[in-house]
Amino acid sequence: MLNTISSLYKKKIRPYSKLIQAICIPLLALVIPISIGNKQSFCGYVMIIMSSFWLLETIPMAATSLIPILLFPIFGIMTSRDVASVYIQDILMSIFHSYCSNTVNKIKWT
C-alpha cells in the first residue's frame, strides 16, 4: 500500500508540485487580508507569499523578489513610483546585473 502511494506521488503529483504551491499558498494566505482588511494585513500577505515562495523555491528567487513591485500598487500599500524608487538604486542594479550575467554564464557553459 505504501509503495503504491509513493509511486503515485512520484508519477502524478511531484511533476506539478510547484504549480500546486503557486496556487495554494496565495489562496491559503488570503485569509489574513480578507479578515483584517487594512494595509498592514495586505503587506503581511505579500510577505507571506514571498517568504513561502523563497523557501520552497516555487518560482526563481529573482522573480520572487519582484513580487512587491506588482502587488504593492495593486493593494494600495505603496505607489508604483515609491516601490520602483526602492528597487532601482545604483548598488541594487549592480548586484542584479552581476547576478543576471552570472546566471547567463552558468547556463551557457553547462
Question: Alpha-carbon distance 68 to 43, whole Å?
Answer: 9
Each residue's pLDDT tens digit, 62-73: 888 888 888 999
What confidence tens digit (pLDDT) does each residue in 77-86 have?
888 888 888 8
CA–CA gap between residue 54 and residue 28 (Å, rounded): 16
pTM: 0.70
| Grid cell digits, residue 31 | 485569509
Measured CA to CA, the distance from residue 55 to residue 47 in angstroms comes to 12
List the grid coordinates of 46.
Answer: 505579500
* Residue labelled with grid coordinates 503504491: 4
